[in-house]
Structure 1
């Protein structure tokens, strides 16, 4: 975790120089369902797999995730404005865990950047960096596993530029995915 960040297991605050204050807190299904429904049903979120979901279904899904000890959903803010939805999960408790050899310390991550307030160069990289920092605040997390849709070229490119290494193609319910892995940075120890 960087020196300008504070975190506990489920909350995070980091002042990212030149970008703003990034805060991360658990999704509150009753409060956040309208916002999340607006995001996940947009064409730009087609790889999220919820384009046709009703507001009630979105609430139901995030209430269910909130009940699990193995999966967590977070709302990410930049300077108080909602900016992204992040999810973490234990791969051994998820279908992805059946598709590769899960290691001790693996954590799965899903990320959906919200619709931009305005197009801003460097926005996704800065936000993603803070989210990765948050994920690695838990010292038991040694490797991040992501499994984006194999057709999602923008995300695949972002992962490569961030230092993830590509793994095999896998078949998951509803998608063909490309596994990607990022080892815990040595400086994070």
Structure 2
């Protein structure tokens, strides 16, 4: 008896990284990827993601809702076939962050979270993965600036963005969202911006 191999999703973007191999950006499929996402977001290291207490069913519901939107999208970045990073993009004018700064044409918001490390430490791995994310977002010629808003307590993420070329902006308070389909608590965050020109200067 033979088993059919798992169907490999078609990558939205691929980049070959020296010493690492093929890095792929795949659309997150809530049904297929729920176990990976649930295991990641409920770890202590992911506390700033804000989903530490969510059940598997709740994670599935959240990402199925996200998958239904045209303004917000979720992705997995894989190294070869191994999931390595969860990230989301959103149009700031359709997000609560629009209440906290003046959105400019061509802005694209991002959330990102590295998966748990596996094997021996790989110096520069996170920076490389963040670079791939930026390349993917800026592959859309309409995007002129990448916007991030990490939790103000997440000093490592803020420092990492600054090292990648993001210009740090002011501290903001994202308002609570309490709707039937989504609840987001109030969040103190730090704005960070990376222009297309700034990204090109990093390459």
State if a TM-score over 0.5 links the two structures: yes
> Is 1:33 aligned with 2:10?
no
Aligned twin of 1:179 = 191
* Structure 1 residue runs of 4 or more that deviate by more than 2 Å after TM superposition: 185-188
- Let me know the Cα RMSD of the aligned residues: 1.3
Match of 1:24 in 2: 25
Q: Give ranges in structure 2 of 5+ residues lacking alignment.
A: 1-10, 177-185
* 1:127 CA displacement: 0.8
Q: Is the 8 A contact 1:19 1:126 kept in 2?
A: no
Higher RCO structure, 1 or 2 (CA under 8 Å, sep 6+): 1
Please state whether the residue corresponding to 1:53 is helix, strand or coil. coil
Q: Distance in 1 between matches of 2:196 and 2:59?
A: 32
Distance in structure 1 (CA, Å) of the matches to 2:155 and 2:125 = 18
Q: Tell me if 1:137 matches 2:152.
A: no
Give how far 1:18 is off.
1.9
Partner of 2:106: 105
Matches within 5 A, 1:118-133: 118=119, 119-133=121-135
Q: Which residue of 2 aligns with 1:63?
A: 64
Larger-Rg structure: 2
Q: CA deviation at 1:136?
A: 0.4
- Please list every run of 5 or more consecutive structure 1 residues that lacks an aligned counterpart in the other structure: 1-9
Q: State the Cα distance separating 1:20 from its structure 2 match.
A: 1.6
Count of aligned pairs between the two proteins: 179
